[in-house]
Amino acid sequence: MADPHETPADAHDDAHAADAHGHADAHAAHGDAHHAHDPLDAAHLIGHVKDATYFEFPRFMGGKVEIPQIYEGPTLATISVGFKPIDDRIMPIQGRITKFMVLEAIVALLLILVFSWLALRLRRSDRPKGALTNLLESMIVFIRDDVARPAIGHHDADKFMPLLLTIFFFVLGCNLFGMLPWMGSPTGALATTGALAFITLCTVCISGMAKLGPVGFWVGQVPHMDLPLALAILLKPMIFVIELMGMGIKHFILAMRLLANMMAGHLVQAVIMAFIAASAASAAWYAVTPASLLGAVALSLLELFVAFLQAYIFTFLSALFIGMAVHPH
């Protein structure tokens, strides 16, 4: 997937925005000579999946639509942790409004509208009526009975239900937006999944400290062992550090799992569609196009399933981590 020749140095430059495209098939339809490059180029393909400061539509629908920016000045700040592999991957803070931000805001608004409507409906009548009501209710009850309560325990689960429901539906909404043409999955960016995992981590620490006391929670990270005093003094701090790292890694993997699933799906989709453009000049096009179309349809179905599955897994693991923090034994 990674191109050995690329350097991320200029990756954040606004200028790259000038050339990225929507979907590979839409790209093939562009007649602009400026776009002439290999459709299977890794940087180009990833460019379709990544965040950007514009939306891309087919040409007859307006082509590339730049998102109006509030701030267009120079870079605001750069974050550095002093470790090059990480610093290389942290982009400078530029204060631009990006596609994923817009999509997240749309998802949030949709969720507020849909669930306020559901709440209103439930307040008016106690009877479940209508397909949408039943669909949403069954999801909510599923999260409560099959995710929160088994993972956190019946007594404490209800306290975390708002968080888990918000996580589930927000992630699901972000995942599903990737299924809409010319949109994208905000969960296909590590910044999004990382922020969500960070929220889980904060919840784990805060709820653990609230339940077991600030000291009790952190001490409780070291499993109980019957060690001679000397050995305990030596080992326990090491185990504590390992456990802390474990906690960090657990939540990092939480973010990575969602990112990888969403990004990989879209990337494979882009590659399959790019085959059409890549073979456009040869006779192979006649064989490649139907195969690619069928493959894209099948993959879309798979992605639809993965969108739900990953939202569920993210929520379930968050619940599990919270449960472990609240009930350490």
Partner 1 sequence: MGLARWTICVALAFAAVGFSAQMAAAQDVEKALEHAGEEVHEAATTDPSHGGGSTDPLEVAPDLAIFTFIVFVILLVVLRKFAWGPIMEALERREQNVAEHIAQAERNHEQARQLLVEYEQRLAGAANEVRELLEEARRDAEGTKQSILAEARQGAEAEKARALRDIEAATDAALETIAHRSTDLAVELAGKIVGAKLTKDEHARLIQDAVAKFPASSASSN
Q: Is 247 or 288 the residue whose CB approaches partner 1 more closely?
A: 288
Q: Locate tokens 């399959």: which residue? A: 272
**Distance in Å, CB of 215 to partner 1, minimum:** 27
Choose one: 210-218, 221-229, 232-240, 272-280; the region binding partner 1 (CB under 8 A).
272-280
**Does 55 participate in binding partner 1 (rule CB under 8 A)?**
no
Give the C-alpha separation, 235 to 226, whole Å: 12
Residue 104 Cα distances to 174, 188, 250, angstroms: 7, 12, 25
Q: Which is nearer to partner 1, 147 or 278 (CB)?
A: 278
Q: How far is the CB of 325 from partner 1 (least distance, A)?
A: 18
Q: Which of residues 303-322 bind partner 1 (CB under 8 A)?
A: none
Alpha carbon of residue 179 to chain centroid: 14
- Pick the piece of the chain touching partner 1 (CB under 8 A) from 38-46, 221-229, 242-250, 311-319: 38-46
- Please identify, among the stretches 121-129, 241-249, 300-308, 319-327, the one whose residues bind partner 1 according to the rule CB under 8 A: 121-129
How many residues can be counted in the chain?
Answer: 329
> Pattern of binders to partner 1 over 161-200, x per CB under 8 A?
xxx-xx---x---------------x--xxxx-xxx-xx-
> Which of 38, 66, 72, 146 forms a contact with partner 1 (CB under 8 A)?
38
170-173: which pairs have CB atoms within 8 A and are 24 or more residues apart?
Answer: 170/107, 170/108, 170/111, 170/196, 171/196, 171/258, 171/310, 171/311, 171/314, 171/315, 172/307, 172/308, 172/311, 173/107, 173/110, 173/111
Crossing angle between the packed helical segments 99-124 and 154-177, to the nearest 10 degrees: 130
Can you state the angle between helices 99-124 and 131-142, rounded to 10 degrees?
100
Task: Give min distance, CB of 187 to partner 1, in A.
Answer: 10
Closer to partner 1 at the Cβ: 189 or 326? 189
Q: Is residue 266 a contact point for partner 1 (CB under 8 A)?
A: no
In angstroms, rounded to a whole number, what is the distance separating the alpha carbons of residues 201 and 169?
A: 18
Query: Per-residue DSSP letters for 265-323?
Result: HHHHHHHHHHHHHHTTTSTTHHHHHHHHHHHHHHHHHHHHHHHHHHHHHHHHHHHHHHH
Taking the least distance from each CB to partner 1, the nearer of 104 and 303 is: 104
Work out which of 131, 229, 281, 283 binds partner 1, going by CB under 8 A: 281
User: Looking at beta carbons only, is 176 or 276 nearer to partner 1?
Assistant: 276
Q: How far is the CB of 257 from partner 1 (least distance, A)?
A: 13
Among 64, 67, 95, 304, binds partner 1 (CB under 8 A): 95
Nearer to partner 1, 116 or 219 (CB): 116
In three-state form (DSSP H/G/I as H, E/B as E, the rest C), the secondary structure along 94-131 is CCCCCHHHHHHHHHHHHHHHHHHHHHHHHHHCCCCCCH
- Per rule CB under 8 A, is residue 42 in the interface with partner 1? yes
Which CB atom, from 58 or from 150, has the smaller least distance to partner 1?
58
| Residue 151 burial by Cβ neighbours in a 10 Å radius (0-12, 13-18, 19+) | buried
Residue identified by tokens 């990989």 is: 264
Least distance (Å) between residue 220 CB and partner 1? 26
| Binding residue count for partner 1, defined by CB under 8 A | 98
Residues 128-157 contacting partner 1, CB under 8 A: 128, 137, 140-141, 144
Binding flag, residue 108, partner 1 (CB under 8 A): yes
